[in-house]
Structure 1
């Protein structure tokens, strides 16, 4: 399906001037894929690392790791999502800076009606990072009652979510 889709591409690493708003062909999803129509995208520091070449990507490259939108088409074998579902993601492959895209379905989650697309696109990477820190880092198995948590940047996205989550767990 082509509706004059566009995406941000870079041909070489550099500053913001290398960002190019480019017509792209999205196509139909293959097995295990979804075609998504973005309603909001998340901006993250890793996007700057990709653009600058600090974390090199094969060129030409699409940028952006996080977005929210609506499923437009479902590839073979995808059972947890359907056309029309509101969704969000934060993962590889890069390419969220786009009007629409194909995405591996295993990386996409349903976005509840009560969460705006903008919030969904802004919280996934930070929320997954907080989940990792609170549930997967040492001590093995996550935090236990009486453990202390110290975030040096509790006013940032990850710190704010992690501190609220830790408090909800009764550990702050």
Structure 2
């Protein structure tokens, strides 16, 4: 391989704020490998809401600012001090500081998954974080363990069902046979959710969600709600969830949900969770189990990833603007 340069291009955040704080730099230091680490030349980088949270200051990075944000990417190992991977391996990974040409990662402590033959690097970058989020939340948080395509599962509802994580949730729940309602903000987005397998859709821009849920479920409500919107939908969730139902809040697209008045949970014995996907893949066995299942779903075509747009890394501000403006359906990628 070509010699590794000492500096690289990337996007640096030196202060919290709007998209104007995403600064393009051409003189960032290339990471120096420690024992057990690999250096990855990024090809495609996933854009996620969590990236905007670190940019605005909603989430505080452990090391503070300045910060290279980004939590997932896919590319090629160009240097290795790990026995688990070698130079030339194609990988998709979860880590930190992915908004750059090169990123270091330790495959013994974080998810760095070799890509199977036939799975494009672009697809892996688009599917990894949101696909694993959907899969672990369905399996672990909701406890839906039915065999794929066999069981008729509980009533489920997915908010923002045409977005990146929402689309993955809808598809995987559909493959598993769950009864599903999807909400989305337009007719076009509802059609995407239907094509992904939702039996019922609700256009939140023109329909009353609570009324429609009661109609669809004959007054029962839904057993499991997957809510990546947060503040704007949380009170609604408590209204439409079934007795002994579960509300899984995993995102803050409209702001953080809560605080919660615990007395509101008593009338229906409601359970609430705020899970974190990384806490479901902390062991090597967990990482292997969930990536293997996700890659199989992608390779067999049971689940697909719709890429809304691929932006140049230098144009990341446009990607954040589109994501926060809810102008997108599916996944946003940055090309290095």
TM-score range, shorter chain: 0.7 to 0.9
**Gaps in structure 1 of 5+ consecutive residues:** none
Larger Rg: 2
* 1:67 CA displacement: 0.6
**What's the offset of the Cα at 1:3?**
5.5
Q: Which residue of 1 aligns with 2:313?
A: none
Give 1:135 deviation, angstroms: 1.0
Asked if the contact 2:16–2:55 (Cα under 8 Å) also holds between the matched residues in 1, the reply is yes
Number of aligned residues: 166
Q: Secondary structure at the match of 2:29?
A: coil
Deviates further, 100-109 or 66-75: 100-109
Of 10, 19, 44, the residue aligned with 1:16 is 19
Alignment partner of 1:154 is 2:161: yes
Structure 2 runs not aligned, ≥5 long: 180-336
- For normalisation by structure 1, the TM-score amounts to 0.86
Aligned pairs (5 A) from 1:132-143: 132-139=136-143, 142-143=144-145
Q: Deviations over 1:4-40 (max 9, x none)?
A: 4122111111111111222122244212211000111
Secondary structure class of the residue paired with 2:47: coil
1:102-157 deviation digits (Å, cap 9, x = unpaired): 11223211123422222221211101111111111133xx3333322321332222
Could you list the per-position Cα deviations for residues 33-77 of structure 1 after superposition, in whole angstroms to 9, with x for gaps in the alignment? 1100011111111111101111122111111111110001111xx
Corresponding residue to 2:65 among 56, 59, 63: 59
Structure 2 vs 1, CA of residues 138 and 164 (structure 1 numbering), >3 Å: closer, same or farther?
closer
Q: Could you tell me which residue of structure 2 aligns to residue 166 of structure 1?
A: 173
Give 1:166 shift.
2.6
Q: Which has the larger share of helix?
A: 2
2:86, 2:177 → 1: CA distance?
36
Counterpart for residue 34 of structure 2: 30
Name the CA distance, whole Å, in 1 between partners of 2:106 and 2:162.
32
Q: Distance in 1 between matches of 2:7 and 2:116?
A: 29
The one of the two structures with greater contact order (alpha-carbon pairs below 8 A, sep at least 6) is 1
